[in-house]
Amino acid sequence: MMRHWSFGGVFGAVVLAVLVLVAVAAPWLAPGDPLDIVGRPLLPPFTDPRFPLGTDQLGRNVFAGLVHGTRVSLLVGLAAAAAAIGVGILVGTIAGFLGGWTDEGLMRVTEAFQTIPTFLLALAMVSALGASTINVVLAIAISSWPATARLVRAEILSLKSRDYVDAARLAGMSRLGIAFREVLPGAVQPVLALIGITVGVAILVESSLAFLGLSDPNQVSWGGMVANGRAVLRTAPYLVAIPGAAVAVAVLSVSLVGDAMGRRLLVSREG
Amino acid sequence: MAIEFSLSRRHLLLSGTAITAATLLGRQRLAGAQPARDGGTLIAAADTEPRNLNPAIVASNGVFYVASKVIEPLAEMDYETGLRPLLAIDWQGSDDGLTFTVQVRPNVTWHDGTPFTSADVAFSAMEIWKPLQNLGRVVFRNLESVDTPDDGTAVFNFSEPTPPQLIENAMPALTSVIPKHLYEGTDIAENPHNQDLVGTGPFRFGEHRPGEFYRLHRNEDYWAETLPYLDEIVFRVFPDRGAIAAGLETGDIQVSAFSAVPLVELERMAAIDGVSVIPGGYEGITYQITLEINHRRPELADPRVRQAIRQALDPSFIVDTVFLGYATAATGPVPQTATDFYTDDVQMYETDTDAAEALLDEAGYPRGDDGNRFSLRLRPAPWFAQTRATGDYVRQALRGIGIDVEIVSADPAGHINAVYTEHDFDLAVGSPVYRNDPAISTTILFQGGLPAGVPFANQYGYDNPEMNEIISSASETIDTAERVGLYNDFQRLASEDLPIINLVEFTFITVARDDVQNIANNPRWATSSWADTWISD
Amino acid sequence: MGRTWTLIRRRVLQAIPVILIVSIGIFGLLELAGGDAVDAYLAVTGGGDPAFAERLRQQWGLDAGLWVRFLAYVESLVTLDFGWSVVMSKPVSVAILERLPNTALMMGAAIAFSACLGTLLGGIAALRRGTAADAGITVGALVLNAMPSFWIGLIAIVVFAVKLAWFPLGGIASFDRPELAIGRVFDVAWHLVLPVTVLGLAYMALYVRLMRSAMIETAASDWVRAARARGLPRSRIVRRHMARPALLPVVTMLGLQAGNLLGGSVVVETVFAIPGLGSMAYDAVSQRDLPLIAGILLVGTLMVILVNLLVDITYARLDPRVTDDRVRADGGA
């Protein structure tokens, strides 16, 4: 079983590395603005060497869109996950360490966010505030921090009774000082296992929002490409198939890598 | 039974109604051979469900599409005669333009059995068309009262001369008559009959299942004795356009109007046995794609910059790429389908990026170190895929002459608020509708001095006294030839001044199963009553 | 019985602050947006003038000050009269009740489908641990989980609705619905096959993995070892001693996933043109219909709370060890 997962982890890591490389090298792989109209509309893939994956109904290069879309997907995925995990750690630490009414209050808020259908919330947010990359990142972050917060809080609760915490308290450190400097590093470790899932979900949510027309119009997004292709699904199914597959590959690779990381952590903690 | 596109489609749009009618006669030749047949259910695709279905209040195509089968206007557009009488059988404007007398159709009853009289017309005009209707507030601005000397006569009294030609042109879209006895003394805007329609039309309103369908039933007591042919019309709600195409293919849908089938699918649809693509029947509701310009930006207030922008853009590129040929390059605010008002004696522009760059240099906006002259924020209207795509094209084209464009997208409420109330835009892509007369919804895009918050109007900061003068004198000119002359001046000045840039104009496409007969047989077919539509074996 | 009531009371009490926070958040969000319901209305109708817009704002109560509007909003929520929906042109409660059954039906079916198939496959994978079947199931679940549901949905439409014509293109029922009740049930079921499958598949992976690891864990437990030593038949060991305790985390996850599933239904309802809460939420947001958005989010939240309550009750049934201090109190993500 270990072998099986580590194979998945390696596979995921390789795919992810390729995606990152593509994202970084996008301006060289497909120079120019991917939103530019550059060719005849609806050229099928593999017919014109200039447009290896064909063109969409406006004559935009699908390959260029795919390549530049990698940037947006990975960037939004990572930024949103980082923000979500950051907020989660902050809330979880404060709640777990201060306890009492602070804990009670923060946990009620966390629960609220876990109870509302968060995609509806993200939809309302982006729609009301306007579709820009930063708003999309914020909306995704706001809807996915509670998991981290609860995990961190639980870890902190189990750690804070330990000896070294008492030692720090005797040494006269402030409560939050102890929390962030002494306890947090130990509590954050299991959070690493959540990164893969969080990034994967963020990429999926970004593509779903883009599919509903809520993405930055100055940038290509895979979900947006699918939404464009939807109207011509029968005539040019590749316009839906290609970017959708890209989303799946990206999400699969980050979740494989995240999974492998989580398992290694588990092994190192238990063993 | 596909139509030959390459031959006809652009031609059609260029030359307007006559050719459309001829082509369609060709298509209907099969139908002509057999007599119209009674019965059957017509299943039409709808992609919106208007909140207010009362066409007297909301004169919009989304509403008319369903409601025009139930509630009728005074007259309908007609290819041969111009106007075909419906609830009015005769009308006459006075020489001074101060009265307009309408003879209403006798022996008509509302769907609830109450007789229809001129009092219903008077009530609709004074209580709805003038104060409540989105378009009527312009046309009926000077309407003071409507007298009803008898049940068959309604006399419209205006405080200022109002051209009879304007009223005639407004009849098809702006004069839907609703029953006085159900509306009088109620809160008209929230009257339940705004959903549960009661009219005089060939079909009665059946039921509306939100998100699913509208069902209309045949009106057995319709005033035109042999009509309608159909037993039922069902408008199935299909928010997804791809699904509409598939539905036509499988026969689940028999008619889809307003280009609900994506343009790129049309070629494939036309090749399918049993499905036809029909480009006519919308000449009375021509849309344009325009570039709206905020003159509050000092760069854009300079006519040379606006000319440069116009020269950087290639309308024929938009026609070919965005509209796949189903559109025509525009020359000004009046579309070429409006044969009575259109003139080509205007300032024409060639696409010439070198000239555009020279103009910009001359205006004092040289390219900076990064190659940009200045940056603009462009808001494409969210209504059509084509407005958004045109936005992408404008961005690309203007980058070519050193103008950096950032696209800002918003949903309908955000867009309306940003452009027409807050003026928070530099450029916007709009899609105004030309409704049969320039005074109805076109000159308002050029008229200066409007307060902020009037949507689909001049909120561009453009205020040219000469333009204002032409618009106001045309609105009070009774003589038709003189009035047309003024509107020709209007088009000339608009093309020289370029307060907004009219890029392309388009009408819609209907796709239908071949057994549906009498499609596209008037210039507002999709928004007309469908009384004579029938289904062959 | 007493225990169940305690559970319900506690859940309901916990829900109150949640609902409060959610409602205030919605109000604040819509305040930040550019344009209001009147702008949305004018966009659709295609015209108007400032006087008309002003009158509409008065009529719809949009011209009052921030606090007045907020108080009116709170009042409407407290009295459970969600107000009037501008988009649907009817009371919000009526609009929601019209659509709730469709969404609830789809969600319920999707939850059942993903949990049943997921636990079954997860169980098989655990029992066949290390074999090709295990690898196939695990990888398959991961891949399905990675695919965006709108994408699977569109492909399913092309293949099963257009090419093969086995299922309808979308919608919840035929417009010419059958006369007989039984026919109508079949009609709706026939329409729901594709959307439920698509929605369910996206969430199935979770249950596969949970069930698989839980089964592997219980297989190694003393209980199972003792049972084996006693020579009990394998099928009985699997059912009683492995699968039953392994179901506990799956049941917990059902509750935690309810909200996500409801969110996912927005996309699936849009793709399959199902008149449900999700697609209505999308319309409501784009038309700035605050009462309707608030109503949908609150009803959605209530649905999630309800599902969690059911989960709690089921959990208590499945695991006799659980008393009021439930194991799942802080069950993690």
Instruction: Flag if C304 and A117 touch (Cβ within 8 Å).
Output: yes
In tens, the pLDDT along C227-245 reads 777 777 777 777 777 777 7
Chain A partners within 8 Å of C256 (Cβ): 114
What percent of chain B is predicted at pLDDT more than 70? 93
B264 touches chain C (CB under 8 A): no
pLDDT at B488: 93
B275, pLDDT greater than 70: yes
Using CA atoms, how far residue C306 sits from B216, C251, C294, C295, C312, in Å, is 40, 14, 18, 16, 10
Written as one letter, the residue type at A211 is F
Determine, for residues A130 and B241 on separate chains, whether the beta-carbon distance falls below 8 Å: no
Cβ atoms of B401 and B430 within 8 Å: the answer is no
How far is Cα C259 from Cα C265, in angstroms, rounded to an integer? 10
Average pLDDT over residues C143-160: 89
B349/C254: higher pLDDT: B349
Residues with Cβ within 8 Å of residue A67, at least 6 apart in sequence: A22, A26, A29, A30, A34
Nearest to C109 by CA among C198, C41, C228, C10: C198
Chain A residues 116-175 within an 8 A CB cutoff of chain C: 116-125, 127-130, 147, 150-151, 153-154
Q: What is the mean pLDDT of chain B?
A: 86
Q: What is the mean pLDDT of residues B217-243?
A: 86
CA A249 – CA B144 distance, rounded (Å):
68
What is the pLDDT at residue C2?
64
Average pLDDT over residues C300-326: 70
pLDDT at C333 over 60: no
Mean pLDDT to the nearest integer, A112-127: 82
- The minimal CB distance from A233 to the residues B242, B382, B392 is found for B242
Question: What CA–CA distances, in Å, run from B7 to B12, B23, B267, B338, B505?
Answer: 9, 11, 13, 22, 19
Yes or no: say if B269 and B513 are a contact pair by the CB < 8 Å rule. Answer: no
How many CA atoms lie within 13 Å of C95's alpha carbon, on the beta-carbon side?
Answer: 28
Best mutation target among C151, C160, C253 (most A Cβ atoms within 10 Å) is C151
Out of A147, A208, A249, closest to residue C267 by CB? A208
pLDDT of residue B427: 94
Reported as a pLDDT band with limits 50, 70 and 90, residue C202 is confident
In this predicted structure, what is the pLDDT of residue A267?
Answer: 63
Per-residue pLDDT at B27 exceeds 50: no
* Contact at CB, A58 and B407, closer than 8 angstroms: no
pLDDT of residue B17: 38
pLDDT greater than 80 at residue A190: no
Nearest-CA distance from A8 to chain C in Å?
9
C247-288 pLDDT per residue, tens = 877 887 887 788 888 888 888 988 888 888 888 887 777 676
Residue A137, pLDDT above cutoff 80: yes
| pLDDT value at A248 more than 90 | yes
Per-residue pLDDT at B413 = 77
Rounded to an integer, the average pLDDT of B459-479 is: 90
- pLDDT (0 to 100) of residue A268: 61
pLDDT of residue B25: 39
Q: What percent of chain A has pLDDT over 90?
A: 25
Of the candidates B432, B463, B428, the residue with the CA atom closest to the CA atom of residue B447 = B463
Whether residue C12 has pLDDT greater than 90: no
User: What token pair was written down for B28?
Assistant: 């209907």
pLDDT bin (cut points 50, 70, 90) of residue C13 is confident
What is the SS3 assignment for B84? strand
Summarize the confidence of residues C32-52 as an average pLDDT.
Answer: 71
Residue-level pLDDT at A271? 41
Binned at pLDDT 50, 70 and 90, residue B33 comes out as low
Pairing outcome for strands B203-209 and B213-218: antiparallel
3-state secondary structure chain A: CHHHHHHHHHHHHHHHHHHHHHHHHHHHHCCCCCCCECCCCCCCCCCECCECCCECCCCEEHHHHHHHHHHHHHHHHHHHHHHHHHHHHHHHHHHHHHCHHHHHHHHHHHHHHHHCCHHHHHHHHHHHHCCCHHHHHHHHHHHHCHHHHHHHHHHHHHHCCCHHHHHHHHCCCCHHHHHHHHHHHHHHHHHHHHHHHHHHHHHHHHHHHHHCCCCCCCCCCHHHHHHHHHCCCCCCCHHHHHHHHHHHHHHHHHHHHHHHHHHHHHHHHHC
Three-point CA angle A118, A122, A124, nearest 5°: 115
Kindly report, residue by residue over A139-153, the tens digit of the pLDDT: 999 888 888 888 888
pLDDT for A68 beyond 90: yes
The token pair at B60 is 């919009």
Q: B387 and chain C: CB distance < 8 Å anywhere?
A: no
> Quick one: pLDDT at residue B197?
92
CB contact under 8 A, B413 and C288: yes
Check A234 against B389: CB less than 8 A apart: no
CB atoms within 10 A of CB B210: 17
Residue C76 has pLDDT above 80, yes or no: no
Say what the pLDDT of residue B24 is. Answer: 42
CB spacing of C48 vs B134 below 8 angstroms: yes
The chain C residue lying nearest B214, using CA atoms, is C175
Token pair of B146 as six digits: 């409507």
Q: Which of residues 54-83 of A touch C (CB under 8 A)?
A: none
Do C46 and B189 make contact, defined as CB atoms within 8 angstroms?
A: no
Count of beta carbons in the 10 Å neighbourhood of residue C74: 14
Is the Cβ pair C129, A1 closer than 8 Å? yes
Quick one: DSSP state of residue B382? Answer: S
Find the range with the poorest average confidence among A256-270, B109-123, C87-101, C103-117: A256-270
Q: List pLDDT tens digits, range C170-192.
A: 777 776 666 677 777 888 888 88
Cite the DSSP H helix spans in chain C: 2-32, 37-45, 50-59, 66-78, 92-127, 132-146, 149-156, 181-219, 222-229, 234-236, 244-271, 277-286, 290-318
- The yes-or-no verdict on residue B29 having pLDDT over 60 is no
**Reported confidence tier of residue A3, pLDDT bands at 50, 70, 90:** very low
CB contact under 8 A, B239 and C89: no
> pLDDT grade, residue B117 (50/70/90)?
very high
Choose the weakest-confidence range: A121-125, A187-191, B471-475, C150-154. Answer: A187-191
Q: What is the pLDDT averaged over residues B315-329?
A: 89
**pLDDT value, residue B13:** 37
Confidence of residue A269 (pLDDT cuts 50, 70, 90): low
Give chains near A: 3+ CB pairs under 8 A. B, C
